[in-house]
Structures are given as C-alpha cells and as structure tokens.
C-alpha cells in the first residue's frame, strides 16, 4: 500500500507521526520511539551518530544532544522497527525527514534499539551575584529560564558548572533565595555529577517532580578560568598567569608562598614545587596584571580550595609577580620519597632508564622533591612494572645540585630501555630545612636555612666547631671537620635567616641553639658561614679543563681541598677506572705531562697502579694520599669514550658537513628524518645563531670515517643537541654516504651558546668576578654545563670588560686585564676571542668562540676592574684636588700681573680667571685649561 500510494502515506505521516523517549530518567533521555500508523515502534542502529541525536533533541525541545547510544542502552523495545540507517544533516525539523531506508523497510532485532541523552536545557547562567562567576543557578528551557533548587546539586556539580562557565574552580554552594509560594519555573531534575564532566548536561540526572523550591542554588566560583606558566625554559616553570574574564594576565601575589606553588604544580601535572624565584627570572608579562591572593588554607589542599581573593586589575610592583619552578620529576609505585623515577618531557610523563642512573643523580632528585638525600638506588619491594614510555636520558650530577635539571643531560645515542629497567630511588625522607650549598657534596659548603620557601643565609661573627657539629648532626653527615667563613668572593647576597648562632654542640637542630633571627641588628661584622662534615666529603673526583665532563685533568677532593694525580706509571688501565667511575664509558687515552694544563694546590696520589676492574680510583694500589715526588707539570689526564663534540667540516665555522666526536673518533651524522628544527638546534649548539637549513647539494664533500648517528629528532624543549633523541651509537648508521648531513646556518660568526639552569633562583645569566678587592673587580668566570669556568684573554679589551661590568651592576670598566691579573682560575676555559661592541646588555650577546683546543691555559684568564657604584678612586680624587689648587694659584698670579699692568697704565681694572678642569674618563688622566677674563666695575 505504501509503495502504491506514496503521496497518501506522506499525508498520513505528517498528520499522525510522533516521537518520544522511553525508559530514561526523564522526558529528555531514553530509548527513541516513533509512532507511525497509530503504532509505536523503535529505531534500529545503523551508524547512529550525535548528529542524528541532535535532531531528536531539537524536535522534542530538549536542548542539545549529549550522547548518541546504541545496543539498547535503555532496554529493548517492542513493536516494529520503523526506521533504519537514519542519516541526518542536523537541520531537519523531524527525525523521519532525515534520509532513511523507508518506513518498516528492515526488520531489526530489538537489542539494536538506539537511545539518546539530551541536555534538557540549552544554556545555563549565574545571576544576581557580585560577579559573572557567582550567583543563582538557572538553566534555559526552550525560551524560559528555570531555577535549580539547592537540594538538586552538590559541590561536584558546582565544580562542573564553574568549569563550563570558564570561572575557575568552585568555591562554595549556598542556599539562595527562599522561594516560598512563588510561581517561578522550577527545574525538574537532580544533578549527580562525578566532577570531571565537561558540561552540566553530561552529568547523570534523576527526575524529581516539584512545583516548589524552598531555596534556590547559589554557586560561588573562584572567578578565574585557568592557570598556565609563561616564559619558562620548560613547560613546568615560569611566571604564573591566570585566565580571568576571558583574558590571560600575570598573577601579582604579595603572599605567594611554596605551599601555594606546590598545589599549582600538582594541578598542572608538573610534580612538586621546587622554588618560587624572586625578581624577574621569567621576565615581565606584556598583558594584563591580576592583583590577588592565592589563598590556600592547609597543606594537601586541592586547587578548588585555593581561590584567588580580591582579584583586581592593576600594575604589579617589581618582585611581586608569582613565579614557580616545578620539579618535572616524581616517584611512583612507592611512597612519597621512594619509588620508580618518572620525568616529564613536554606533556608526557615517562619512566627513566637506569642504565646511567647513579647515587649522585638520585640525590639531586631527592633534594628536588624535598625528600632529603638518596639512600639507595636499588629496587625495593612494592615497585612493579608499568606502562608508558621509558626515557633514555642520562643525568651526570655531582649530587649537590638543587634539582636534576641542573645536571649535565645526555640523551643522544643512548640505547633504548624496557619498563623493567626503570630507575628507582629510596630517599632519606627528611625534608630539609637546612642545607649546605656550593660545596663538593651535600655535607660541605655554605650553611643555608629555608625561610618561607626561600633558601636564606646564616651570618655569624663567632662561628666555631661546636656550631658546625650541630649542622653536621642535623644533616646526618657525621661530625664536623671544619667550621669556617666563606671568602669575600663567595659571600651571598640574598635573604638572611639567622645571625649570631651560639651552640653548645649537643643540640639536634641548629634552630635549637641560641640564635638571633634576621631582624636582629648584629653587634659585630657578620660573615657567611660554612662547614665541612666527615660524612660524604671524604672523596670526590672530576675532570678539569677539557671543555667536557668526560675529558680533562684528573682532580680528587679530600678534606675540603681539590688536588691532582701524578702521572708516574699512569696508563690506560688507570684512566679506564676514572672514566667508568664518572659514567663516561671507557678510556680512549691516558695523558701525562699536564696535557690539560697544570693544576694547583695538593697532589693527592702518585704511582697509581690499577688493574682496570676497580670501581674507584682510590681502590687502586698507590702511595699514601698526599705522598709524592712530583710537580704539577706531571699532572695526569684522561680522554673518555663518552666525550662528545660537534663540528662542521669542508665549509666554514657555520656551514659544512656535520661531524660528531664520539669514542675518540670524528664521524658523520645521517640525515634520515632530520627536521629543520634539528638543524637549527645544531646551529645554536655551534654558536651560529638560532636558524639553519639542511643543504641538499652535498657541496661539502663526503666523509671517510664512521657514520655515528641516525634519526636525530630535536624538539623546542631541547636546549642542547646532546638532549635530542636518536638511534643508538653505531659506526655504520648511514646506508650510504649520500645520507650524510650538510647544513648551512643563518649567521657567519660564532656567538656564545649558553642555556640557563631551570632549578636555580639566581639570574638566568650566571656571571661573576673572583679574586679582586671587591665584588666589582676580579677574574671573569661564567657558569656553563654545570661548572664555573674562565674566559681566555685573546682579543679581550675594554669593550668586552664594559659589558661584564654593566651586567654585574658595577658601572663601567676602568680596565680590561689579561694574563691572570687576579690569579689563575680552575675548571674549563669556556670562551676565547670575545668581540663585544660594548653596547650589549650581557656577555651572551657578544660574538665569541667556544674553546675546543689548547689555544689558552689559565695563565691567560681575562679579568676586569669596574668603577663600582660610580665611586671615584683615590688617584682621581687627588688629581681633582691638585688641579683645583693649581687653578687657584694661576688665578692669583694672573690677578697680580693684571694689577701691575693697570697701575703702570694708570687705569683700574678688576681681574679674575676662569679655570676649566677636565677629568678624562680613563683612569688618572686630567687636563687643565686656564683662561684669564676681565670683569668691569
């Protein structure tokens, strides 16, 4: 009949067809049923989509579609299957106006019946509050706003509402207006949100028929829409910005503290807060400033418990912007301070491979997590395998770093790792309020105390061994070997926590001693204090002057003193123990005769005779520590297999074929899957600017050595080429020489390539002067790759010195000094041939060349003498005084001459003299000019 008279069927359908939802929680959810030919039937699942459900919700005036469901989610219906393979555009007025196979054209089992969940409302709002983010909750039903009763929502529901309205976190739900017998439209459903729903319409609901509401629901949101960290060197550090009123702005918080920062770090999935740096470490924001207080009532609060109060738009005084450095590291499958190590790359957490994991790196992580120090890196009970990526990063730490990211980090060429090979650590669990910094282990260095989340200084004018004993006991570092004051060049400039500490030596904590807090004015001259404890300061080792941590002069540390090793009988077996102990692979060469320059101070070991199997150099046979018959011209050195370097060949400094130095040999790099970003990272690493491209013309020739690496992939988060991912080291990485990498960098002159630490609260650009009379004169030292080093005096001039002085806040340069004028430094010589114009804001902006060869040694260390805070030196002051006296004498003489002439001529003339005194900008130069002038009566 339908087939014979389709027009009759159409007329019948428009008059009789109906739609309803059955077996749901209300009229706007349930199994879709259609009444056709006076009989109710169902709709069969055939690619049922949210677009089809949208037509159903709109047709029933039930708002918008939340879910399109299949496989009889609301139970099986009865009767015919009226519609099958419905395909709606979304703008149809009725479900049967969508494309389908025809009425009753397909018989479908009822377990394929479809259902929908509609919002039941089209919008929601908060009205009558102080801001757009607080007030009475109303939902829009068709064209009318309906009130929601207080009894129909809870705090989780309020959280979803605040999130949907971009109003931040829910602060409270309150009983609103008492309605009594008013005739306002009441919403007929109760909301039962889990709390993670995106929209209120997504929440489960129950029908609750009522025509009365004792109190409406009032929701109070925090008033902001979200947080982010801006201008940091990682995604987990930066200046705190929040979204308020649709605008991102810097949070200006006078009471910003570490507990608040910790909650924010957890909310951003960035681990825990490491520091809240002061100053403008992350720069000034260009947008809005939101003045407010991030108010957390107790530890362990959720972000929703920490609303920003008294939010307003204003300027922010310098130093009051909220900053935070989050750990980016955490421990899982254990306790707060023990477990499997996970670190975050970009937005992804992954386990850390244990192939290069050691106790020093573990201690840096424990310190970073406020968990004391590392007791063990062995697997503990309760740690289990897991899923997710396993990162191949290796961290080369000394154990004294503030956090893991301060350590030299190498990923390039590392082998892959399984989840069973994940790094673990058990920390001491003691959250330190006291620490020793700047030393060679956690048990020696400057005494510092945590004051409101900021590490602060301890000053004293009577610091002794009894005070030091208390510090060592509190840190579980044994007994005190030495209590001393820091030299002038190493004194701090930060906040002061304590002054004038007087201990008996029996106290368990420094704060239990008789102390004066930082507000107290000292009676004498107080100085920064330091300690050497017996615990972990026994022995340390490092390689110096090799431009890389895996090559250099061998130096050992004992009793607070660094010394060298004599080259008598020094061979590859000895060098192999050094390389293995430092996590630098195996030895390539054992150097003698101070190949990496002469050291200074103590010569600790002589006649070392290792088999090569020892775990520590001091486990090898040798003379007694400190006994030797050597001079520093015999200092021993090593080159290890993991020494890495990069160069461009057959072109110039900033263009050529890429070669990497590994395992003692230069080799090529393959270009498979290499991006422009990776090429730019190589250019930046070489000091050739921030841009570069892969050359395809192969004009820089073919290599002849190994092809070390393939599939190098760098991201914007990688500050160094060594941190980029790649295939493992393989001398035959390329299939053929046509895959070798040729690059051309944008820039023809090398410049400094320095990347800041992410876990320190000091300046991003770490520069200092050492050995001078004050903080504005001395040998120039810069921090790079985890250690302080010097600058070669080749081409060093006043323009370079001016930049250093300005950067240190020490005025202008009085002189640029060479040939280690303030003594020879130690450690690497980072730069040579610095060419500043003198107008640069920092030394990093000047062109320079990294020092890779032996062009310089420490007897050529550069130095400066700055003017300081615009002070005149004694010679200049004397010159001014003498010049003034000379000017007065000349004036008197000139007056007498003119008077004599006037008397001879019978005239009367008053005379004077104008003296002009010029003090030249350069030190000690003065010019004097005199001009006689006549003054009439």
pLDDT of residue 289: 85
Start-end of H helices in 770-909: 798-807, 874-905
pTM for this one?
0.57
844, 754 Cβ separation under 8 angstroms: yes
Share of the chain above pLDDT 90, in %: 23
pLDDT of residue 539: 80
The answer, yes or no, to whether residue 929 has pLDDT greater than 70, is no
Per the model's pLDDT, the better-predicted residue between 237 and 786 turns out to be 237
Per the model's pLDDT, the better-predicted residue between 725 and 889 turns out to be 725
Q: Enter the DSSP assignment of 473.
A: H
| Alpha carbon distances (Å) from 639 to 398, 553, 667, 708, 894 | 19, 9, 17, 18, 76
Classify 56 as helix, strand or coil.
Answer: helix
Start-end of H helices in 243-295: 258-267
The answer, yes or no, to whether residue 917 has pLDDT greater than 50, is no
Q: Residues 796-805: pLDDT tens digits?
A: 998 899 889 8
Torsion of CA 365, 366, 368, 370, to 10 degrees: 170
Contacts of 204 (CB under 8 A, 6+ apart): 25, 191, 192, 193, 194
Instruction: Give the least confident one: 324-328, 503-507, 615-619, 646-650.
Output: 324-328
Tell me whether strands 444-451 and 454-460 are parallel, antiparallel or unpaired.
Answer: antiparallel
> Residue 711: which pLDDT band, with cuts at 50, 70 and 90?
very high
The answer, yes or no, to whether residue 262 has pLDDT greater than 90, is no
CB-CB neighbours of 135 under 10 Å: 20
> Residue 851: which pLDDT band, with cuts at 50, 70 and 90?
low
Q: Residues 332-355: pLDDT tens digits?
A: 888 878 889 998 887 788 899 988
Instruction: Give the least confident one: 181-185, 450-454, 650-654, 918-922.
Output: 918-922
pLDDT of residue 522: 41
CB-CB neighbours of 508 under 10 Å: 9
Output the average pLDDT for the chain: 79
Instruction: Give the least confident one: 541-550, 627-636, 913-922.
Output: 913-922
> Residue 880: which pLDDT band, with cuts at 50, 70 and 90?
low
pLDDT of residue 718: 80
pLDDT of residue 6: 29
The answer, yes or no, to whether residue 577 has pLDDT greater than 90, is yes
The answer, yes or no, to whether residue 226 has pLDDT greater than 70, is no
Start-end of H helices in 675-773: 676-685
Contacts of 904 (CB under 8 A, 6+ apart): none
Per the model's pLDDT, the better-predicted residue between 784 and 858 turns out to be 858
Q: How far apart are CA 646 and CA 662, in angstroms?
A: 9
Q: State the average pLDDT over residues 525-549.
A: 80
Strands (E), 413-560: 424-427, 434-438, 444-451, 454-460, 480-485, 496-502, 514-517, 527-533, 540-548, 551-558
Please say whether the dihedral angle defined by the alpha carbons of residues 86, 91, 92 and 95, taken in this order, is positive or negative: positive
The answer, yes or no, to whether residue 526 has pLDDT greater than 80, is no
Instruction: Give the least confident one: 558-572, 573-587, 725-739, 848-862.
Output: 848-862
Strand partners of residue 457 = 448, 496
The answer, yes or no, to whether residue 309 has pLDDT greater than 60, is yes
CA-nearest of 455, 512, 465 to 761 is 455
pLDDT of residue 477: 86
Residue ranges and CATH numbers for the domains of the chain are 18-118 (3.10.250.10), 123-221 (3.10.250.10), 224-326 (3.10.250.10), 329-427 (3.10.250.10), 434-533 (3.10.250.10), 540-640 (3.10.250.10), 645-746 (3.10.250.10), 766-866 (3.10.250.10)
Q: Residues 604-625: pLDDT tens digits?
A: 999 999 998 898 999 999 999 8
Q: State the average pLDDT over residues 23-43.
A: 89
Share of the chain above pLDDT 70, in %: 81
pLDDT of residue 806: 83
> Residue 886: which pLDDT band, with cuts at 50, 70 and 90?
confident
Instruction: Give the least confident one: 310-324, 523-537, 604-618, 897-911.
Output: 897-911
CA-nearest of 390, 313, 305, 384 to 345 is 390
pLDDT of residue 565: 95
Highest mean pLDDT pick, 172-181, 701-710, 738-747: 701-710
Strand partners of residue 403 = none
| Backbone dihedral region for residue 322 (phi beyond 0: left; psi -120 to 50: alpha; all else: beta) | beta
| Alpha carbon distances (Å) from 540 to 440, 558, 564 | 7, 7, 12
| Alpha carbon distances (Å) from 615 to 541, 582, 612 | 13, 10, 8
> Residue 816: which pLDDT band, with cuts at 50, 70 and 90?
very high
pLDDT of residue 937: 29
Per the model's pLDDT, the better-predicted residue between 267 and 163 turns out to be 163
Instruction: Give the least confident one: 105-109, 535-539, 602-606, 632-636.
Output: 535-539
Q: State the average pLDDT over residues 586-595.
A: 92
Q: Residues 287-306: pLDDT tens digits?
A: 788 887 777 655 555 665 56
Classify 52 as helix, strand or coil.
Answer: helix
The answer, yes or no, to whether residue 850 has pLDDT greater than 90, is no
Q: Residues 200-218: pLDDT tens digits?
A: 888 888 877 666 777 888 8
Residue 217 tokens, joined: 């629901």
| Alpha carbon distances (Å) from 287 to 248, 249, 491, 564 | 7, 6, 37, 54
Strand partners of residue 648 = 658
What are the backbone dihedrals phi and psi of residue 463, each rounded to the nearest 5 degrees, phi first? -75, 130
pLDDT of residue 224: 55
Q: Residues 390-423: pLDDT tens digits?
A: 898 999 887 777 778 878 889 999 988 887 788 9
The answer, yes or no, to whether residue 131 has pLDDT greater than 70, is no
Q: How far apart are CA 237 and CA 329, in angstroms?
A: 12
Contacts of 681 (CB under 8 A, 6+ apart): 714, 718, 721, 724
Q: State the average pLDDT over residues 296-324.
A: 68
Q: Residues 350-394: pLDDT tens digits?
A: 899 988 888 889 988 888 887 878 888 876 554 555 667 889 899
| Backbone dihedral region for residue 135 (phi beyond 0: left; psi -120 to 50: alpha; all else: beta) | left
Instruction: Give the least confident one: 642-651, 828-837, 850-859.
Output: 850-859
pLDDT of residue 300: 52
Residue 38 tokens, joined: 């006076």
Strand partners of residue 335 = 338
């Amino acid at each position: 009949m339908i087939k014979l008279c389709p027009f009759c069927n159409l007329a019948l359908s428009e008059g009789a067809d109906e739609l309803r939802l059955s077996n749901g929680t209300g009229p706007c959810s349930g199994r879709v049923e259609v009444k056709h030919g006076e009989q109710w039937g169902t709709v069969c699942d055939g690619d049922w989509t949210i677009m089809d459900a949208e037509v159903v919700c709109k047709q029933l005036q039930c708002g918008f579609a939340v879910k399109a469901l299949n496989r009889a989610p609301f139970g099986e219906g009865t009767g015919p299957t009226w519609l099958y393979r419905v395909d709606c555009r979304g703008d149809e007025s009725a479900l049967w106006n969508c494309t389908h196979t025809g009425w009753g054209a397909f018989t479908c089992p009822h377990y394929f019946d479809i259902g929908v969940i509609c919002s039941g409302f089209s919008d929601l709002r908060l009205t009558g509050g102080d801001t757009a983010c607080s007030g009475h909750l109303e939902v829009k039903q068709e064209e009318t706003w309906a009130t929601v009763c207080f009894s129909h929502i809870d705090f989780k529901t309020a959280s979803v509402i605040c999130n949907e309205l971009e109003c931040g976190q829910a602060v409270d739900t309150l009983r609103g207006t008492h309605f009594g017998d008013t005739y306002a439209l009441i919403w007929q459903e109760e909301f039962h949100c889990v709390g993670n729903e995106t929209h209120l319409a997504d929440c489960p609901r129950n029908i609750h028929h009522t025509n009365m509401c004792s109190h409406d629901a009032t929701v109070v949101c925090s008033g902001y829409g979200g947080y982010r960290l801006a201008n940091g060197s990682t995604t987990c550090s930066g200046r705190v910005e929040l979204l308020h009123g649709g605008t991102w702005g810097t949070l200006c918080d006078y009471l910003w503290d570490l507990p608040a920062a910790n909650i924010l770090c957890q909310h951003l999935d960035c681990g825990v807060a490491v520091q809240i740096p002061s100053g403008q470490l992350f720069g000034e924001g260009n947008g809005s400033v939101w003045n407010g207080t991030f108010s957390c009532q107790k530890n362990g609060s959720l972000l929703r418990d920490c609303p920003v109060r008294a939010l307003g738009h204003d300027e922010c005084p310098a130093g009051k912007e909220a900053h935070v450095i989050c750990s980016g590291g955490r421990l899982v499958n254990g306790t707060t301070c023990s477990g499997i190590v996970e670190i975050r790359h970009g937005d992804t957490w992954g386990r850390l491979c244990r192939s290069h994991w050691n106790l020093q790196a573990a201690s840096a992580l424990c310190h970073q997590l406020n968990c004391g120090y590392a007791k063990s890196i062995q697997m503990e009970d309760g740690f289990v395998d897991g899923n997710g990526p396993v990162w191949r990063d290796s961290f080369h730490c000394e154990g004294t770093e503030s956090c893991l990211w301060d350590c030299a980090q190498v990923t390039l060429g590392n082998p892959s790792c399984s989840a069973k090979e994940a790094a673990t650590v058990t920390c001491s669990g003691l959250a330190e309020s006291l620490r020793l910094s700047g030393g060679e282990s956690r048990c020696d260095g400057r005494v510092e105390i945590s004051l409101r989340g900021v590490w602060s200084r301890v000053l004293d004018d009577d610091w002794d061994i009894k005070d030091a004993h208390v510090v060592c006991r509190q840190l579980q570092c044994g007994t005190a070997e030495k209590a001393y004051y820091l030299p002038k060049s190493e004194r701090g400039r930060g906040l002061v926590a304590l002054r004038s500490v007087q201990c008996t030596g029996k106290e368990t904590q420094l704060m239990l001693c008789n102390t004066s807090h930082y507000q107290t004015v000292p009676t004498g001259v107080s100085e920064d204090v330091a300690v050497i404890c017996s615990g972990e300061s026994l022995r340390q080792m490092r390689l110096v002057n090799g431009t890389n941590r895996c090559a250099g002069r061998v130096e050992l540390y004992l009793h607070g003193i660094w010394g060298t090793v004599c080259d008598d009988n020094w061979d590859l077996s000895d060098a192999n123990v050094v390389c293995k102990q430092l996590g630098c692979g195996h030895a390539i060469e054992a150097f003698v005769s101070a190949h990496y320059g002469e050291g200074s101070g103590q010569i600790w070991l002589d006649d070392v005779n290792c088999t090569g199997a020892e775990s520590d150099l001091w486990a090898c046979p040798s003379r007694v520590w400190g006994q030797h018959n050597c001079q520093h011209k015999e200092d021993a050195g090593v080159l290890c297999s993991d020494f890495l370097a990069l160069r461009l060949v057959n072109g110039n400094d900033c263009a050529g074929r890429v070669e990497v130095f590994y395992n003692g040999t230069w080799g090529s790099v393959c270009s498979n899957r290499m991006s422009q970003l990776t090429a730019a990272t190589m250019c930046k690493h070489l000091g050739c600017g921030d841009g570069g491209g892969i050359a395809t013309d192969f004009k820089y020739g073919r290599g002849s050595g190994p092809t070390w690496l393939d599939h190098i992939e760098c991201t914007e988060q990688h500050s160094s080429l060594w941190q980029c991912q790649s295939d493992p080291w393989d001398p035959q990485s390329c299939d053929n020489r046509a895959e070798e990498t040729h690059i051309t960098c944008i820039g023809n002159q090398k410049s400094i390539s320095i990347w800041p630490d992410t876990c320190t609260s000091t300046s991003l650009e770490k520069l200092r002067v050492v050995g001078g009379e004050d903080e504005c004169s001395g040998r120039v030292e810069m921090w790079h790759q985890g250690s302080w080093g010097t600058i070669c005096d080749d081409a060093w001039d006043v323009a370079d010195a001016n930049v250093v002085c300005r950067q240190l806040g020490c005025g202008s340069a009085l002189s640029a000094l060479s040939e280690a004028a303030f003594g020879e430094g130690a450690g690497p010589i980072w730069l040579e041939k610095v060419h500043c114009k003198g107008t640069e804001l920092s030394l990093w902006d000047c062109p320079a060349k990294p020092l890779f060869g032996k062009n310089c040694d420490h007897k050529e260390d550069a130095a400066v003498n700055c003017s300081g805070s615009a002070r005149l030196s004694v010679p200049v002051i004397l010159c001014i005084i003498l010049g003034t006296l000379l000017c007065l004498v000349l004036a008197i003489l000139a007056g007498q001459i003119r008077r004599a002439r006037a008397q001879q001529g019978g005239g009367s003339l008053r005379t004077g003299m104008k003296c002009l005194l010029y003090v030249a900008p350069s030190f000690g130069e003065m010019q004097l000019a005199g001009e006689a002038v006549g003054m009439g009566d």
